[in-house]
Amino acid sequence: MNEHGIVAVLGAGIAGAAAARRLSESGLHVRVFDKGRGVGGRMATRRVGGMQFDHGAQFMRARGPAFAAELDRWAQRGIAVPWAGSDRYVGLPGMTEPVRALLAGLPVSRATTIVRLRRQRSCWHVEDASGTVHGPFDGVAITFPAPQVATLLAASGVALPGIGRAAYAPCWSLMVATDASPPDVLIEPRTDPVGLIAHDSSKPGRPAGCRLTVHATPDWSRRHLETPREAVVAELLGAAEDVLGTGLRPSYAEAHRWRYARVETALQKPCLYDPDLRLGAAGDWCLGAHIEAAYDSGEALARGLVADLGRPA
């Protein structure tokens, strides 16, 4: 096997970043592709003027030794800090920062949507939405949400059995800047329509001011998946005011729809991987609905690829 193999990593969220870093540190070359203008996936930070909102994942927790060690390394570097309890960590200056750290120095093609995989002899090529074909690659690691993995595989005429069992809930996320008195750092009523209210600016290293992120419940988000954004903003804003017992008088209010937000049915296996094809997929949908699951899954997929490309993991 090629000692200097190159792997295409599709997706630059935490699973893709963990896989890419493990592959690189094991002596393989990687190239990362992501459809977004930035990296991080649902570990997202939106900046608007001097404001910022963690409008995706709110914090990280470590349950197992691998992610606990990584979280400790991030803490030592000052890119992860405790928030709202000693076991909750956030990225610094935003939730995206740990993903940026994992991808530092690696080639990342942003705003590049991969729509098809092509197998030629023992190598892979990947085709983007513009028709550009990239490659050859010795292996492919896909770290999209499971429904997007399934779509890509179907368009490519290949399969990874089991992918269809994973299921997600959507989430509408409301970002609000207000001059109202800040609430508690984190409130989780979990009663339609409000699942969570996070006081973003209470997180360490954030700009001053009162900024809130409101996550709608899964059921409400499903029912309103195609509701116009303006109507979602109005309804979630009113519901948040009811929960908080105060008017918010927002100077800024915007909503973001996460179509694949939270894993509801995971495969309960580290990743999907075909060693004959050197093709695999990873994500939180493999192990569970948290950042650590995505990280562990990306690492597991990388170990399989490293083993088959002739390097010890």
pLDDT digits (tens, 9 = 90+) for 192-221: 999 999 999 899 999 989 999 999 999 999
pLDDT tens readout for residues 51-77: 999 999 999 999 999 999 999 999 999
pLDDT, the chain, mean: 95
Of the candidate CATH numbers 3.50.50.60, 2.60.40.10, 3.10.20.30, 2.40.30.10, the domain formed by 6-43+96-166+266-308 belongs to 3.50.50.60
The closest of 80, 36, 47, 29 to 295, measured between CA atoms, is 80
Mean pLDDT, residues 231-237: 98
Can you tell me the distance from the alpha carbon of 184 to that of 197, in angstroms, rounded to the nearest whole number?
9
pLDDT beyond 50 at 124:
yes
pLDDT beyond 60 at 109:
yes
- Please provide the CATH number assigned to the domain covering 168-263: 3.90.660.10
Q: Where are the domains of the chain?
A: 6-43+96-166+266-308, 168-263
By the 10 Å C-beta count (0-12 exposed, 13-18 middle, 19+ buried), 1 is classed as: exposed
pLDDT beyond 60 at 3:
no
Q: What does R_g of the chain's alpha carbons equal in angstroms?
A: 20
